[in-house]
Each structure stands twice: as C-alpha cells, then as structure tokens.
Amino acid sequence: MPDGDHSQFQFLDIAIVGAGPVGLYAAFYAGLRGMSTVVFDSMAQTGGQLQALYPKKKIYDVPGFTAIFAEELVQNLKTQAERYNPSFYLNTRIDVVRPFQNGFELMSHQNEFFFAKSVLIACGLGAFLPRKLDIQDAKKLEDRGVYYIIRNPEQFYGKRLLIIGGGDSAVDWGLTLVPHAKELTLIHLMKKFQAHEMNVSELLKTSARVKTEYQLKAIHGEDKVEAATIVNNVTGDEETFPVDAILCFIGFLTNLGPIKEWGLNIRGNGVVVDFDMSTNIPGIFAAGDIVYHPGKIRLISTGFSEAAIAVNNAKHYISPSEKVQPKHSTSLSETKN
C-alpha cells in the first residue's frame, strides 16, 4: 500500500481488468452511465484473444453482422468505448486487487497503484497459449508449415492445407480459407463437432474434405512441411497426402495467474458470480469467459450482456440512489467529446 495521505488519491468509478471485446463494451457502457473508467490489459493492444490470435478470422455470431473480421469488430468496439474517454493502460498486468478505504487499490506488475470504487474483471480466461501438437517434428517445423495462429490468411492462398480441430476456430478458418486454397482437408478427433451447427453444415457444402474420427499421426518434411499422415481412430486406416501447411486449432492452455490470489470464489478456471455478475467480494464484478455460473455459455454475445449487467449493478453499488435499470440509450441526449 502506498505511503502518505491516501485521501489524495483519485478514485475512479470503475476499473476494468481486460481490454478484450467484453472489456471494451463494458468501458463504453460505463461511459454511457456517466462513470469515470480505466481499462487495463497485459497485452500491447486492445482486443484480447481476438486480436492476438486471429485478427483476420471472420466471426459469424455477433448480433448485427452476418460476418465480421475479428480486428474490425475490435476496432468498432474501441471506437465506441472511446466516445466517453476512458483511460487505457496497456502492457499493464494487474497483480493485486484489494479493498482500500471505500473502494479498491490495484497494483500493477510495475508497482504502479490505481484506485477505483468498483472493479470489473473481464480478462477472458486469463493468460492463454495455443495448445500445441505433441508429435515428432511439430516443434521443428513451427512457422515453417505448422501454425497455431493465423495473422495473414493470404499466405495460405493457393496452398494445400490441413486444418486440425472441431471447434469454431477450426470450422471458421475452414470457411474463410476454402475459397482460396488449392486443397483443404479438415480432420477432427471426434465424430461430433463442437462448432456452431450451421457453420459445420456450410463447410460440408464446400469443396473441403472433412474427415471425422481422424487425428494427425506424422508430419513429413525436413525444412518445411511437405506431407501429413492421418489415422482413423476407429479403423486404424492411415492416409498420407501432400500438404503445404498444417493449421492446428485444438484449444488453449489457460492460467488465471494473480487473479487466483485476490480472494475471489474460484471454481475450475472461472470466477463464481451471482445473477448480477457480482462476486463474493462486494464491489468486484466479472463478465465474459472468466465467469462461472450455472448455464454459462462462452460467446461474445453473452459476454456483452454480462458486461452490461455488471456495469449497471456497479453503478448502483457505488451510487445507491441510482437505479440498476438504465435509461434506454435512445432517450439519452447526444454528447460530443
């Protein structure tokens, strides 16, 4: 805790930990309710996982957009949030959050101190790294034909591609790349996909070769990927075919990091919240993928809803005379910044 007269420190209304889509929308909504806001993120840019892992991937489940590139969605959200001039601290990991006076003291990894009347945790699943292939030569050929992150999809145009995975990332990249690839094969370990059903249906209508209950057995090539061998988990049948690139989307390794030390009720890899997105510590709220509650669905759209619920309840928490239920945005007068 910093020394001196603590009354000199400015307490903002809300500190948002995480500048991904949910954190950005929360910053906008806090501004809409007239709250002074600061946003922190350990990464060098806003956008969280979307910006870091697949900025060029199309997203199909955001309201109002048939499809939108991840980086475009992030920019739209940032522009929306900036209307109310929140403060952004990037490259800033919050290591400590603890009660202080009538609010909270936040300490960064650089021992900087910040003060807020309420806190919203919106940092996704915490630190994340792509889960990598446990197969011979996969590490040697990483970025020479084996990829876990796609930053420039155009590098795969006209190529023979093998996509591994059965979730939304694998299927969405399949839909994005199949019109441009020379050949595209997608294999999934299980029989049933974990991606949205309609997107799977759309992929099956394309020229992509989709093979379920298959996994990668071997990668061939010395200085770059030249071929792959896949094996059927049920029959044991193997198939070797030429590929120029293997795109692997088999999940992430996540770590809540210092959040686990903040005294929050943690279940699994999530922060337990009540119906109003409040945690077990009064004044601390959570929204997005970090949240655990019965029936939780990890989607950007549900994260937006949770952000609005959390911010409105935070507003009432710091100003009990203010109602939780906000005015409709259409009834608010336009303000220029």
Residue 11 in tokens: 């307490």
The 3-class SS string of 232-249 reads ECCCCCEEEEECCEEEEC
CB 248 within 8 A of CB 148: yes
Separation of alpha carbons 190 and 193, rounded Å: 7
Res 332: pLDDT: 54
Res 9: pLDDT: 67
**CATH fold group of domain 12-128+252-331:** FAD/NAD(P)-binding domain (3.50.50)
Tell me whether the CATH fold assigned to 12-128+252-331 matches the one assigned to 132-248.
Answer: yes
- Residue carrying the six token digits 């501004």: 31
pLDDT by position in tens, the chain (length 337): 444 444 456 899 999 999 999 999 999 999 999 999 999 998 888 988 888 777 888 888 899 999 899 999 999 999 999 999 999 999 999 999 999 998 999 999 999 999 999 999 999 876 667 889 999 999 999 999 999 988 889 999 999 999 999 998 899 999 999 999 999 999 999 999 999 899 999 999 999 999 999 999 999 999 999 999 999 999 999 999 999 999 999 987 777 889 999 999 999 889 999 999 999 999 999 999 999 998 899 899 999 999 999 999 999 999 999 999 887 666 554 444 4
- Structural domain boundaries in the chain: 12-128+252-331, 132-248
- Residue carrying the six token digits 């770059």: 224
User: Beta partners for 214?
Assistant: 232
Q: How many CA atoms lie within 13 A of 98 on its CB side?
A: 9
Task: Show Cβ contacts of residue 313 under 8 Å, excluding neighbours closer than 6 positions.
Answer: 276, 277, 278, 285, 324
Q: How far is CA 234 from the centre of its chain?
A: 34
Q: How many CB atoms lie within 10 A of CB 255?
A: 14
Separation of alpha carbons 269 and 58, rounded Å: 27
Give the H/E segment covering residue 266.
strand 266-267
* Secondary structure class of 306 (helix, strand, coil): helix
Separation of alpha carbons 53 and 21, rounded Å: 14
Q: At what angle do helices 21-32 and 300-318 cross, to 10 degrees?
A: 40
Q: Which one of 3.40.50.1820, 3.40.50.300, 3.40.50.620, 3.50.50.60 gives the CATH number of domain 132-248? A: 3.50.50.60
